[in-house]
Amino acid sequence: MYKILKNKLLITIIFIIFSLTSCAKEGFFKTGDARKNPPDPKLRVKKNLEEGKGFRLSNAMKGNKGTNFEFASSNELWRASLDVLDFMPLTSANYSGGVIITDWYSEQGNAEESIKITIRFLSNEIRSDAIDVDIFYKKCITTNNCKINKQDGQLKKEITRQILAKATIYKKQSKDKNFQPYNNQSSSKD
């Protein structure tokens, strides 16, 4: 009986190993670029842990049993967009939908002209193509006679630049805050 269980366990382990190695060929596991990683394994471990790509056994043993939700405050692009648009009243800010829409805004002395900004988030990465900024201009001759145009001008470029710059700063601050140096105690005996 013991021999049969042992053989079944051995067959199961071999099957799992073959399954996992076949997944690696099909792209289930992402392989790293050897040119971007140091050749020394200790340095690779240190780099991965400092970038937050690895896990520490001490952190895993703490017993985090809850789900890890990503809140809007942890998305650098979202926070930067809200900071850049803080002077405008918001109509809608839907994080799960990935959209921020402002209300019509005009400067104090100019009630005939106003702008409205819509930002759509296409990715969480901090890149110029990760957000789509649309700016609408409204010119009114009278209260009921208004013309609305969507324009791609200097303001669109400036808002996009400011959002990306702030998001980069937030990302660096987050990385610096979460940085934990890697201490390899076994190598201290060498």
Judged by DSSP in three states, 22 sits in helix
Judged by DSSP in three states, 87 sits in coil
pLDDT at 72 over 60: no
Axis-axis angle for helices 154-178, 76-84 (nearest 10): 130
Q: Please name the residue that has the structure tokens 């050749």.
A: 39
pLDDT of the residue at 96: 82
**Model pLDDT for residues 82-101, shown as the tens digit of each residue:** 999 998 999 998 888 889 99
**Which residues does 44 contact at the CB level (< 8 Å), separation at least 6?**
37, 38
DSSP 52: T
Domain definitions of the chain by residue range: 2-65, 72-176
CB 159 within 8 A of CB 84: yes
Cα–Cα distance measured from residue 112 to residue 146, given in angstroms and rounded to the nearest whole number: 9
If we measure between CA atoms, which residue out of 124, 114, 128 comes closest to residue 159? Answer: 128
What SS3 string covers 19-54?
HHHHHHHHCCCCCCCHHHCCCCHHHHHHHHHHCCCC
Q: What is the average pLDDT score of the chain? A: 78
CATH number of 72-176: 3.30.530
Beta strands (DSSP E) in 14-96 are 90-94
Q: What are phi and psi of 112, to 5 degrees?
A: -80, -20
Q: How would DSSP label each residue in 99-160?
A: EEEEPPB--TT-SSEEEEEEEEE--SS-SGGGEEEEEEEEEEEETTEEEEEEE-SHHHHHHH
Region 26-42: mean pLDDT is: 66
Task: Say if pTM beats, i.e. exceeds, 0.75.
Answer: no
pLDDT of the residue at 97: 84
